[in-house]
Amino acid sequence: MEVRLLSGRSDDELPSHREKEPTSTAIAVASLISLVVLACGALLLVSLLAWGIFMMLTTRLPVFSVTVDGFSGLEDRVPRAFNLTMSIDNVGGEYDVCVDGEAMVLYGGVPLAVGRVEELCVPRNGAVDLAVVAASGGVGVPKALAELMAGEKLADGAVHAEVRVISAKHSWFLSCTAALEQGAARPYPCKKSSMVDESDGVRPDDPFQDHTFDKDMGDTSQGGGSGHHLSSMSGLGINRYGDLREAWVAV
């Protein structure tokens, strides 16, 4: 009788391994899915990092430079001319680079010559050299300015002028410092800046604001002479391009 009572528990009342199997399988599947998601996330992160490094190594901003191939008329009161080459290297660029407008050669913020830059667009992974001729329009170098250039050439062996390329249509301009010297021409790097309005990039700095110059006697800031202010020759920048004759009419 006791044996029957002890064994009277049916098989349905005993824990079954079959009831535990679904729970274990679900946990295993969830774990596997979690691992797959984590692996995919890690792979995506690595891919994005690799793509970013690749883009950094293979793409860059456009590079601008200016070469002064030849010039004349710096030391005499005769018309000046500058043969320039504007280079645009867009290899590795992410967008087309378009340019047009005018190139201006300045010394000490005073415009020496102006030339037209033809309109064109350089595609991505492209490069181009533009020939530009800048001329003074028949105006010679003012004596005071010529003396400054002669002094710099004597001290440094070359005159350093600024070349500005103003592309008002595309709202940017370039500023490049180039040495005007004899010998093999070489490119000089340019800095690109955005234009807020059309006067940006063409309004020259006035390094002579504390000095006046007589057209024959030189520096007269201490008194004497006719007191001809060189900044009056910089009207070209403030009035946009204009005619160089207007800038130096009093010289």
**Comparison of pLDDT for 162 and 157, the residue scoring more:** 162
> Can you tell me the mean pLDDT for 29-34?
84
In the predicted structure, residue 8 carries a pLDDT above the cut 70:
no
Confidence bin at 178 (pLDDT 50/70/90): very high
Query: Which pLDDT does position 47 carry in this prediction?
Result: 79
Query: What share of the chain in percent tops pLDDT 90?
Result: 33
7-33 core/surface letters (b: 16 or more CB in 10 A; e: else)? eeeeeeeeeeeeeeeeeeeeeeeeeee
pLDDT digits (tens, 9 = 90+) for 195-250: 876 555 554 443 333 333 333 333 333 333 333 333 333 333 333 333 443 444 33
**Comparison of pLDDT for 118 and 221, the residue scoring more:** 118
Tokens standing for residue 29? 């599947």
From 5-14, 134-143, 209-218, the region with the lowest mean pLDDT? 209-218
At residue 239, φ and ψ (nearest 5 deg) are -95, 30
- Which residue ranges make up each domain of the chain? 16-58, 63-247
Q: For residues 132 and 141, what is the distance between their CA atoms, to the nearest angstrom?
A: 21
Instruction: Please tell me the pTM assigned to this model.
Output: 0.60
In the predicted structure, residue 127 carries a pLDDT above the cut 70:
yes
pLDDT digits (tens, 9 = 90+) for 58-88: 557 899 999 999 998 776 667 889 999 999 9
Confidence bin at 13 (pLDDT 50/70/90): low
